Amino acid sequence: LMRSPEVENITFSGQLVCNFFSGTHFIDPETQETLTTLRFEFADSCYVNTLGLNIVQGGNIPTRLGGDPFPALVNKRFLEVLRWEGNPVGRIYKCKGLFDVVITGVLDDFIVGSIFTPQTPVVIVGLGGWNSFYMSIRLHEMSPESFTRLENRLRELLLDQDIVLTTYRDKLHESYRDTERFRNSVVVAAVFMLLITLMGLVGYVSDEIRRRSKEIAIRKVNGATATDVLKLLLRNIIIIGLPAVMIGLAGTYLAGDKWLENFPEKISLNVFIFVLGGLALLAVIGFCVVLRSWYVANENPVKSIKSE
């Protein structure tokens, strides 16, 4: 399988024969106090390279697994919870009631599951003897053709096995499914709120026109054009609308920046995007005002004066 041109690296990870669960209590070896939940991963030495993890201190777990205590990698979060200072490589952590591990290296923190999952200390143990395992494959290039060739190759090698391939992109998308639903709900709610706001704006403009109809008629008699009338109404709306839009954009920027803190990979908030959004909203407001005022601005002023 490694000789296949589309395959870059392969790693195995799994569970112990004793059906050991991936999460257990993290206990301070000195005080015996339960600190948090500890996550175990059982894998081979290719795990780090295949998943693109970064070793910041020490080295990888050995290729030939075995020994007591078992070699293991830990993340920075592990050291922070235990308050270990200095070089942790070579130190032994006693997993109460299970086994002991000797730390061979420290990994940079990485996201397990999704950012909305509580991130716990991680221990990657170089330990074989699994009764079930997972094969993780990194491809040189992710494409439908390479994916199909890989699936066919696995079916050739594992004739009696059910082959189920899942891409990292699909797993990532699934982990953020609730976030996507929330995003879609916010978009729908924003559209409805905009429509309700525009309906209120049209009603406000209608009241202004009705209230100032005589003033508009007198201005037109004295030489004001339709453009002058539209400018008059637009100026009054902009005096209210511009501060409201600016306050709304500031709140949106702060809320968006706070929301993006939940994601490890994110875009940078460009102020230019918010400026364009504000200008577009003001343009929609102006269009609604002009559309509603156009008839009155071009109406014969005599009609309004006669009704007095």
Among residues 175, 193, 219, the one where a domain terminates is: 175
Do 24 and 171 belong together in one domain? yes
| pLDDT of amino acid 19 | 40
Among residues 136, 152, 175, the one where a domain terminates is: 175
Is residue 157 pLDDT above 90, yes or no? no
| pLDDT of amino acid 102 | 85
**Is 276 exposed, middle or buried (CB count within 10 Å of its CB: 0-12, 13-18, 19+)?**
exposed
Is residue 46 pLDDT above 90, yes or no? no
Do 193 and 291 belong together in one domain? yes
Q: Which residues contact 53 (CB under 8 A, 6 or more apart)?
A: 47, 107, 108, 110
Do 213 and 259 belong together in one domain? yes
**Per-residue pLDDT tens over the stretch 235-294:** 878 888 888 889 989 998 888 888 887 776 677 888 888 889 889 888 888 888 888 777
How does residue 188 score in pLDDT terms, banded at 50, 70 and 90? very high
Q: Which residues contact 231 (CB under 8 A, 6 or more apart)?
A: none
Do 186 and 265 belong together in one domain? yes
Do 157 and 271 belong together in one domain? no
| pLDDT of amino acid 129 | 58
| pLDDT of amino acid 11 | 80
Q: Which residues contact 31 (CB under 8 A, 6 or more apart)?
A: none
**Percent of the chain surpassing pLDDT 70:** 81
Task: Tell me whether residue 128 is in a domain.
Answer: yes
- Domains in the chain: how many in total? 2
Report how far apart, in Å, the C-alpha atoms of 242 and of each of 157, 171, 205, 239 are.
67, 44, 16, 6
CB atoms within 10 A of CB 217: 23
| pLDDT of amino acid 24 | 62
- List phi, psi (to 5°) of 115: -65, -20
Do 243 and 300 belong together in one domain? yes
**Per-residue pLDDT tens over the stretch 96-153:** 666 778 888 998 887 766 566 656 667 777 766 556 677 888 888 888 888 888 888 8
Among residues 117, 142, 175, the one where a domain terminates is: 175
Full domain range(s) for residue 46: 7-175
| pLDDT of amino acid 144 | 83
Task: Tell me whether residue 100 is in a domain.
Answer: yes
| pLDDT of amino acid 18 | 42
Task: Tell me whether residue 45 is in a domain.
Answer: yes
Do 65 and 78 belong together in one domain? yes
